Amino acid sequence: MKPAAFRYERPRDVAGVLDLLAEHGDEAKILAGGQSLVPMMNFRLARPEMIIDIGAVSGLDQVTRNGDHLAIGSRVRHIELERPDFDGPLSSLLAVAARYVGHIPIRLRGTFGGSIAHADPAAEWCLLGQTLDADVAVASARGKRVIAAADLFKSAFITSIDDDELLTEVRLPWLCPDWKTGFSEFSRRAGDFAVVAVATAIRLADGQVAEARIGAAGVGATPIRLSGAESELVGQPFTADAIDAVSELAGEEVDPRGDIHGSADYRRDLVRALTRRALS
């Protein structure tokens, strides 16, 4: 199939984008990489009256460290995060997760911000945003605001970004060398969306866990934090026994639904196995 007829605009700056969004609201859709939007339009699951292409807008394609956080512009391509030009635990986590995002043609065109705004509950970047307590910066003709990841993802493909708002950047907390990160994912085929994925970030102090962040995707309508498993790990020596115990608890903490890709019990088993791998 082909998409329904639409009007196409390609503004050159953020102000032009915001003016169009203010005028057209939910009748318009933002096009960045188009790796989710274009297939939906071709199947006529989405029928926007206007496409606002932000491919020519400057200032949205940078990755920069600003003090205690890393700012990733909404137009940064997935492929650029496979080999970040900075070192440290956050670099390692981004590089590993990026290689699970679709196939190479998708990573070459798809964007970090587009994935966050699309809010697929199995998407790698949504999982990292939730796990690391990311902040999402949005702008509209009314002004700017910052949305915490915990408040951003409402349900599958639904966020708290208003129809007249543009996601401009995502801010991830900078992780010092005391942090250790991990990411593990299972999908039916390479390039498929995850059946289950787990991301972890652990800060060690004197051999014990001082802070823990553990998140899972594919077990609900949004990525979730496994707060019970996190609490169990904090204050413990970071040993194989502790990892085993926390991984079992993580499997008990989730309440997934079964589908054609796996039963609820199967997904719980995946959470256990992938949490163990990510922490290890």
pLDDT tens by residue, 73-92: 999 999 999 999 999 999 99
- The pLDDT assigned to 7 comes to 98
DSSP-derived secondary structure for 145-192? EEEEHHHHEEETTEES--TT-EEEEEEEEP--TTEEEEEEEE-SSTTS
How many residues does the structure list for the chain? 280
State the DSSP H helix or E strand holding residue 222, giving kind and residue range, or none if neither: none
276, two tokens: 């163990």
How much is the average pLDDT of 57-69?
A: 95
pLDDT in tens, 208-267: 999 999 999 999 999 999 999 999 999 999 999 999 999 999 999 999 999 999 999 999
Rounded to an integer, the average pLDDT of 108-137 is 98
Share of the chain above pLDDT 70, in %: 100
Using CA atoms, how far apart are residues 142 and 128, in angstroms rounded to an integer? 29
User: pLDDT confidence of 1, banded at 50, 70, 90?
Assistant: confident
Per residue in 148-182, pLDDT tens? Answer: 999 999 999 999 999 999 999 999 999 999 999 99
Q: Which tens digits make up the pLDDT trace of 191-203? A: 898 999 999 999 9
Q: Are 258 and 267 a contacting pair, CB within 8 Å? A: yes
Q: Are 201 and 179 in contact (CB under 8 A)?
A: yes
139 pLDDT tier (thresholds 50, 70, 90): very high
pLDDT at 114: 97
User: Is pLDDT of 69 > 90?
Assistant: yes
Q: Mean per-residue pLDDT for 118-138?
A: 97
